Structure 1
Amino acid sequence: MHAFVHRTTRTLALVGAAAAAGLLLSACGTDGGGGTSGSDHSGPSAAAPSTATAAAPGPFNDADVMFAQMMIPHHEQALEMAGLAEGRAQDPEVKQLVTAIEQAQDPEIQKMKAWLKGWGRPESAGDGSGGHGSGGHAMAGMLSDKDMQGLAAVTGRDFDRMFARLMIAHHDGAVAMAEDERRNGRNATAKSLADDVVRTQSAEVTELRKILDRL
């Protein structure tokens, strides 16, 4: 009986010591973990919404942020161009491409906005309102106000030709931005979208060139 009590007391003492050691180690472990250097970031903070974390999990860097901030207004202008096709476009293949652009780029805009929210970054890289005038000149392929007005002023075959020509330049700019993200970005989700942009918009440029040759 005395031996049993002795063994039990010794066991409890060992368990208590192990628990104390575990608490000490965990307290030390909160000090220095996962710091990142340079422009890399470890991702959304613990206080960020879980939906934001799911949107673009993992580390990200400044190239990922810039890609999203620049591609959002770039996509928005493509949607504006597509919107002008309503009542103006005549060619069936142009109309099909307009639908494809709308179906692909609007969801991508929402994804990129979710990334930036989860990363704690603004939607616009500039300090203005974030419209096309805020830094838009720096983005390859972006149309000027004069280009947009010219596109809105034509219909039928003239619209189809101008739309194809302007959208080729616009897509070429998006592909260049996406290729830069593939080279310099860090976030796997952002790089995957960049892959999609390169693949999809390069294929659409090929189609647009064929349409332009035919018109």
Structure 2
Amino acid sequence: MAAAVNRHLVALALTVPLFLGACGTAVEKSSTPVQTQNVKAAADITAGDTYNDTDVMFLQMLIDNQDQALQMVDIAIDRASRQEVVDLAKAVQATQSDETAMMKNWLTSWDKPTTLDERVSLHADHGGMPSTGDEEIASLKTVKKANFETAFLNLFLAHQHNAVEFADLELDKGANDQAKAYAERVKQSRADQVQQMLKLLNS
């Protein structure tokens, strides 16, 4: 696992300072976990009929990303020692479950698949960070308890930054107004989570 995590962190070390600077806020001192921005009930949000291939790819990639995120936070809720880490995992679990339902509804309304044929690597296709591997997630179940939080936070921090890259792609090339507005929310919520995880790693 160490090599895989280091692979994420090398890329992340180059991007996180710029990313955090762009949002204009420093790491908070509060121990309260950052909540992701809530979305309305999925049934209440419709995306409309205007979309392009980027909109479809963005939603499919983010659904896959969030499915993996939910696997990781489920493990964290069970294995993390600090309540702050458990609270962060529960906040992600609640909001990303709702977001995933919303995105699947949009794709279904467009008569598009809700799953990827294969995992898209932004590292290869768009110069982004590598996708999280299933073996990296599985390793969180077996890493020593004393090392779990460091392993989880390092991996999840990089994973959430991948979601920001997906959002940037949507904002640049997407056509659907609801999908682009959602991409903006993803950028902000993941920025907040990155700040919270950096604080937890340094405490």
TM-score normalised by structure 2 residue count: 0.71
- The answer to whether residue 187 in structure 2 is matched with residue 198 in structure 1 is yes
Task: Report 1:1-215 matches (<5 A).
Answer: 55-126=46-117, 134-138=118-122, 140=129, 142-154=131-143, 156-214=145-203
Q: How many residues align?
A: 157
Identity of aligned residues (%): 32
Distance apart, 1:112 and its partner CA: 0.7
- For 1:146, the aligned partner's letter is E
Structure 1 residue 86, shift from structure 2 partner: 3.1
- Displacement of 1:172 in angstroms is 0.7
CA-to-aligned-CA distance 1:65-117 (integer Å, 9 cap, x gap): 11011111110000000111233111111111101111111111111111111
TM-score, with normalisation over the residues of structure 1?
Answer: 0.67
5+ residue gaps, structure 1: 1-50, 127-133
* Amino acid in structure 1 at the alignment position of 2:182: L
Structure index of larger Rg: 1
CA contact (8 A) 2:77 2:89 kept: no
Alpha-carbon separation, structure 2, partners of 1:112 and 1:195? 14
Is the 1:67–1:177 Cα contact (8 Å) retained in structure 2? yes
C-alpha spacing 1:197/1:149, structure 2 compared with 1 (3 Å): same
CA–CA separation in structure 2 for the residues paired with 1:87 and 1:100: 14
> Comparing 106-115 with 52-61, which one deviates more in the overlay?
52-61
Local SS of the residue matching 2:78: coil
Structure 1 pair 197/107, CA: closer, same or farther in 2 (3 Å)?
Answer: same
The residue type paired with residue 99 of structure 1 is K
Coordinate RMSD, CA, aligned: 2.1
Q: Which has the higher contact order (CA 8 A, sep 6+)?
A: 2
Q: Where does the alignment leave 5 or more consecutive residues of structure 2 unmatched? A: 1-41, 124-128
Q: Secondary structure of 2:77's match? A: coil
